[in-house]
Structure 1
Amino acid sequence: MKTFRGVLYIVTAVFIIGVVYYLGLDGTTIISSPRSRYKEISNWILQREGAPGNSTISYIKTNGIETYLLSAVVRPRTDQTFQIILNSLDFTKGRGDFLCCLISETSLITIPANFQFIYRHLKFMPAITQTFYPAPYDATQYSCDVSKTDLGNPVTKATLALRSSCSNENKDYLSVVYPKRVSNGLAICAKVICGEEIGPARLTEWFEIQKLLGVDKIVLYDYKCPLSIQTIFQYYVAEGILDVVPFSLPGNPERGYTANNRVYPQFYHDEEITVMDCHERLSGYQYILVSNIEDILLPRQHLTVKDLLKNLSESHPQAGGFYFQVQYHVEEWGNDLEVPDSYFQQYLKSTKPTSQFLKYIYIPSRSQSPPDDRFKNISPFHEQYVEPSLATIHHYGKCPEGLKDCFPETMADKTVTKYQKMLLNNTRTVL
């Protein structure tokens, strides 16, 4: 009897794996598009009704199916070829039979879309486990592979179409983003800022300390922020350090980013789509820090993060990126100092550095795919773990969800105070 049950379990498992493979749940396309040459239609005219297609106007819905496109970003491959990467929350889970619709001047160019990447919120046998715990929309990427020799003019707008029909309405197209190339540039992907979760003064101080640390560019996603926060955004956009992407969540209107309205497992994809998009927008920078507005990377022996990275890169020339331990400054412990017009200078008490939730800076030219909780190196590059004696990430705020102990043995860390005088002056000037 036991033998029969064992055989039955094996047959059942093989059957499930076979079905999963047949349905393409490993992320491959189940309906392959024809690998034809470019199809070009000249004198293509977009209708101007509705909002103009623009990469900063949140999502564009693909005609005929609930796949939502966030952005179209150019990724160079060689001197003669490049890819246009389309970041999406995808109802088809990476299996859509899509066509790339690309507009160059007044010409429409159509080519089959290639499935590029899908985020897995479950890491263990994801092709099977996510079948039983799926998200309605998966964070995915499709690519449109383009040869410069076949184009007379740069591609300015792009979208996906289901099967063979390209829209002629301007609102259905994204403006194509061409990332800026910045040698030795340091950028922060600051993810989503939601509603009134942070005040203008604290947000200003965070921007100002990032400037002191040598950050060149910050990209963040504005999800229902009030006018007071958007005014701060406008100031730093005008300075050139900040790019803001207006952001929304398609599909279920009741879900969001606060602890009260997160919908799992969709929330993981709603977070990851911004990291994927940010990875492409900032790909021209040498270093990218994946962070949020509660985090500050503080070097101990250097004044700026750029000085730290120069030292780390010289010491580890084959590093594809650097992982940092985290110290938590928890508001519930109370402030140590009363410093008017400063949030970060007041909370010196912290946990000891912990590797429970590592954060990282990675080098895009040495990364194989969009990073999520970890980045993936291209051989022969490798990950490098930074000693806490050199630098740590300092996280400020409420006790983080998942932290093993909210009241552990604490220490007083005064690293942030070396920026106090200049930081206070700069913050007060802006406010």
Structure 2
Amino acid sequence: MSLLMVPRVDLISVSKLPRWKLVNRNLPSPNSTTDRKPLQFFKQVRGSHVFFLSAVANRDRPNKGDTNVIISAMDGAGITLTCCIIINGDRLFSTPAQLFSEHYNIDFMPKITQYFYPAHFASKQFLCVVPGNRSVTNVSLTSSKCSDNVGDYVPVIYPQSVLGGLAICAKTAFEKGPVPERFVEWVEIQRLLGVDKILLFNLGVPEKLEQVFRFYHNLGILDIVPYELPGVIQGVPVRGLSLERQVKPQFSHDENLPVYECRERLAGYTYVAGIDLDEIILPHRNQGLKQFMEDYLKRFPDAAGFLFHVQFHVTSWGRHAHHDVFFLDYQRSTPPRWECEKYIYLPERTHLAHTHSFEAKPSFRSYSLSRDAAIIHHYRTCPLGWATCFPEIIIDKEMLRFSSVLQQKLKRVHKYLGWA
């Protein structure tokens, strides 16, 4: 996929833009999926099956120095759209919406292309470029004229700049969610590895897990974005991300949109890891992830990021150490494998990120590191597509480096949550 080339346009004069006032109108809301309950978090483009979740401003890409507003959306129409942009709270600017990124099957083998694409609602990002360094406050998409109804707009998000910071894009927790106790273990291990922020999308998790989310949000390490799956698919009463609710090939798009969204919201961090709630990136040397990245950037100064091999700790093989901590107990794993590689990338050197890969900007590149550098430990049942769940098995005890300090941290958290 080539980088998007956006032509420069003349600077606009704010004084010449028409004044605009967003009002609350008592009009039928477009924010509905006809025969389902109204959407809570997405906005619907009036008269079409296009739904957009958010708008994030970026002054670095693709037009450096301009205000690039990137809108994450589900597109079930494929029509020409216009960006309606409010500047300084009361000036209207409109410009054609350009396709910035679109989810294809780039992470997967061609033989299973139809498993992932096309879909009823394609996960996409649209680009709205406002010339110059402007204070953009609200954005909408339209297929006709710009609305003055506040219900048709979303506020523009400006990412926080965290120099030297390390964040995780953890994708989505859904109705079954991770086991709350296991999620606590996972977060505490990430904190021990030096992670500053975890961004997670919430697709209706149970209350006990919500309680854990609130605890870590109050600590400042966890940001939660409410999520839903917009659009009606005929013959599908309930759509979701759990195995029994997946609609293929729609599932790949439903899962991928938060990855696009993460890239924008976490753009101000120095490092971003793309892993799930059952995965841990562990350097073989007993060091944190920031120090690891600094060391390997010295060896590969043109790196936009690094991809890691994966060891699958297949839970159906049973417990090994009978340890109280899940991630220390399942020590049986496969040897390092190339399937489902994940990564840590540098946003300032990266154009786009996907589930299993990322696209470097010109003059930078991605590197797949040796299995001797670091490994992703992935705890799950038998992976999809394996002919057998019993390939070669090894015993890996590297996670035990956290044993003493982790158990102390878990006791404190459990006590605070009232689990002790």
Q: CA deviation at 1:250?
A: 0.7
Q: Does 1:205 align with 2:185?
A: yes
Whether the 8 Å CA contact 1:326–1:395 is kept in 2: the answer is yes
- Deviations 1:308-366 (CA, angstroms, capped at 9, x unpaired): 111111111111110100001111111112223x1111111111001122111111111
> Would you say 1:156 and 2:141 are equivalent positions?
no
CA contact (8 A) 1:121 1:269 kept: no
Q: Which of 26, 45, 57 is matched with 1:62 structurally?
A: 45
SS of the aligned residue for 1:339 comes to coil
Q: What is residue 158 of structure 2 aligned with on the other side?
A: 178
- Note if contact 2:107-2:356 (Cα within 8 Å) is conserved in structure 1: no
- Equivalents in 2 of 1:418, 1:302: separation in Å? 8
What SS does the aligned partner of 1:302 have?
coil
Question: What is the percentage of aligned positions where both structures have the same residue?
Answer: 34
Partner residue in 2 for 1:91? 76
Deviation at 1:420, TM superposition (A): 0.9
**In structure 1, the residue corresponding to 2:326 is in which secondary structure?**
coil
Preserved CA contact (<8 Å) 1:58 1:245: no
Does residue 375 in structure 1 map to residue 358 in structure 2?
Answer: yes
Give the superposition deviation at 1:169.
2.3
Q: CA separation in 2, counterparts of 1:277 and 1:219?
A: 10
What SS is found at the alignment partner of 2:390?
coil
Per-residue deviation at 1:36? 11
- The CA deviation string for residues 374-421 of structure 1, in whole angstroms up to 9 with x for no partner, is 211122212212122221000012122123541111111111100111
Secondary structure of 2:21's partner? coil
After the TM superposition, which residues 182-201 of structure 1 pair with which residues of structure 2 at under 5 Å, given as runs?
182-201=162-181
Deviation at 1:140, TM superposition (A): 1.1
Check whether the contact 1:302–1:308 (CA below 8 A) recurs between aligned residues: no
Aligned to 2:23: 46
Alpha carbons 2:313, 2:379 under 8 Å: kept: yes
Distance change >3 Å, CA 123–CA 295, structure 1 → 2? closer
Provide closer, same or farther for how the CA distance between residues 229 and 133 of structure 1 changes in structure 2, counting only shifts above 3 A.
closer
**Alpha-carbon shift at residue 57 of structure 1 (Å):** 5.4
After superposition, the C-alpha distances for 1:79-127 in whole angstroms (9 at most, x for unaligned) are: 741201011001233x42323333532333322222222111378999x
The answer to whether residue 122 in structure 2 is matched with residue 138 in structure 1 is: yes
- Output the CA distance in 2 between the equivalents of 1:347 and 1:105: 54
CA–CA distance in structure 1, aligned partners of residues 285 and 75 of structure 2: 45
Is the 2:57–2:156 contact (alpha carbons within 8 Å) kept by the matching residues of 1? yes
Q: TM-score, normalised by structure 1?
A: 0.83
Match runs of 1:8-407 below 5 Å: 40-47=17-24, 58-77=41-60, 80-93=65-78, 95-121=79-105, 134-148=118-132, 151=134, 154-163=135-144, 165-252=145-232, 254-340=238-324, 342-407=325-390
> Shift of the alpha carbon at 1:41?
2.5
Distance change (3 Å), C-alpha of 1:265 and 1:79 = closer
Partners of 1:124 and 1:216 in 2: CA distance: 31
Q: Which runs of 5+ in 1 are unaligned?
A: 1-25, 29-33
Structure 1 pair 351–331 and aligned structure 2 pair: CA distance change class (3 A): same
Larger radius of gyration: 1
Q: What SS class does the counterpart of residue 136 from structure 2 fall into?
A: coil
> Kindly tell me: are residues 329 and 361 of structure 1, through their superposed partners in 2, closer, same or farther at Cα, counting changes over 3 Å?
same
2:172 is paired with a residue whose SS is: strand
Q: Which moved more, 1:400-409 or 1:299-308?
A: 400-409
Distance 2:100 2:10 in 1: 16
Distance of 1:123 and 1:235 partners within structure 2: 35
CA distance in 1, matches of 2:266, 2:65: 21
Distance 1:133 1:309, change over 3 A: closer
Q: Secondary structure at the match of 1:345?
A: helix
Deviates more, 1:402-411 or 1:216-225: 402-411
- Identify the residue that residue 428 of structure 1 maps to in structure 2: 411
> Equivalents in 2 of 1:201, 1:360: separation in Å?
25
Partners of 2:104 and 2:117 within 8 A in 1: no
Contact in 2 for aligned 1:213/1:304 (Cα 8 Å)? yes
2-side partners of 1:424 and 1:96: how far apart? 55
- Residues 68 and 128 in structure 2, CA contact (< 8 A), matched pair in contact too: yes
Deviation at 1:191, TM superposition (A): 0.6
Query: 1:266-291, CA deviations, whole angstroms, 9 ceiling, x for partnerless residues?
Result: 11111111110111111111111111
The residue aligned with 1:11 is none
Q: Distance in 2 between matches of 1:223 and 1:190?
A: 13
Structure 2: distance between partners of 1:74 and 1:102: 13
Q: Does 1:408 align with 2:391?
A: yes
Paired letter, 1:413: D
Counterpart of 2:310 in 1: which secondary structure? strand
Q: Any idea what SS the aligned residue of 1:215 has?
A: coil
Residue pair 2:88, 2:137 contacting (<8 A) in 1 also: yes
